[in-house]
Amino acid sequence: MYRLILYYLELLLGVAFVLSFFGLLPFTPFSFLISTAIIVGVCWGVNTAFAFVFNAPTNVESACVAGGIGITPFRSMIKYLVDRDEKRDIALFYSNRTADETAYKELFDEAGARLGIKTIYAVTDGEISPWAYKGFITKEMIMGATPDYKERTFYISGPKVMVDAFRVTLKGMGVKSSKIKTDFFTGFA
C-alpha cells in the first residue's frame, strides 16, 4: 500500500510539473489541487477499466462469454494461466460470425489440454466447423456445458448489445447479479 501511495504521489507531481512546464497550468497550490483531482480521476478510471481480471481464488468456478473482439481480455488471462501452469475451473464460450474469425484457438486448445479449461465455440454464419456449434451461444448451451452455472462467476466481454443481452439471459437463468462481471467494446457491432 505504501508503494502505491508513493507511486501516485510521484505521478501527481509529474503531471503538475508537465502541466506547468507547457504553460497549461501555473505551478501554484491551486494547480496542485487540480492535478490531484486529475490524477485521482485517471487512476480511478484506469483501475475500473482494468478491474476485469480473474482475481478470484483458484477454487472459484468461472465462465467467460466472449463475442468477437471481446475475446481479447480472456486471451490475456488464459495465456497468463498457461504460462504459469495454473489450473482454474473455467468454461469459455466464444462466438464469432465465421470460423475464420476465431482467434487464439491454438492457445485455448492448449489451455484445455494442459489446464482443463473448457472452450465452447459458436459460429453464427458461414461454413459449419467440426469444432464449433452453429448459431449463437444460448442458455441451453451454457446450462449443458456448465451444470453448476448458478455457482459460477460470469465474465462477459464483446459488443455492448451482446453483453447487455447476456446479462439479461444470465439473470433469467437465476445467476445472481453479483456473479456477473461485464466489459464491452464500444463501436463494434
pLDDT of amino acid 142: 96
Q: What are the tens digits of pLDDT across the range 128-145?
A: 788 998 999 999 999 999
The band of 17, judged by pLDDT with boundaries at 50, 70 and 90, is low
How far is the C-alpha of 115 from the C-alpha of 77, rounded, in Å?
A: 13
pLDDT surpasses 60 at 82: yes
Q: Strand, coil or helix: what is 50?
A: coil
- Smallest CA-to-CA distance from 66 within 122, 116, 135, 132 is with 122
pLDDT band (50, 70, 90) for residue 47? very low
Lowest pLDDT segment from 27-41, 56-70, 79-93: 27-41
The rounded distance, in Å, linking the Cα atoms of 189 and 179 is 25
Q: Are strands 62-67 and 153-159 parallel, antiparallel or unpaired?
A: parallel
pLDDT tens for each residue of 102-132: 999 999 999 999 999 999 999 999 887 889 9
Contact in structure between 108 and 92 (CB atoms under 8 Å):
yes
User: CA–CA separation, 41 vs 47, rounded Å?
Assistant: 10
Q: Which set of grid coordinates corresponds to residue 103? A: 482467434
Mean pLDDT calculated for residue range 6-29: 58
Q: Which helix (H) or strand (E) holds 156?
A: strand 153-159
Cell readout for 107 is: 492457445
Distance (Å, rounded) from C-alpha 93 to C-alpha 179? 16
SS3 call for 184: strand
pTM: 0.70
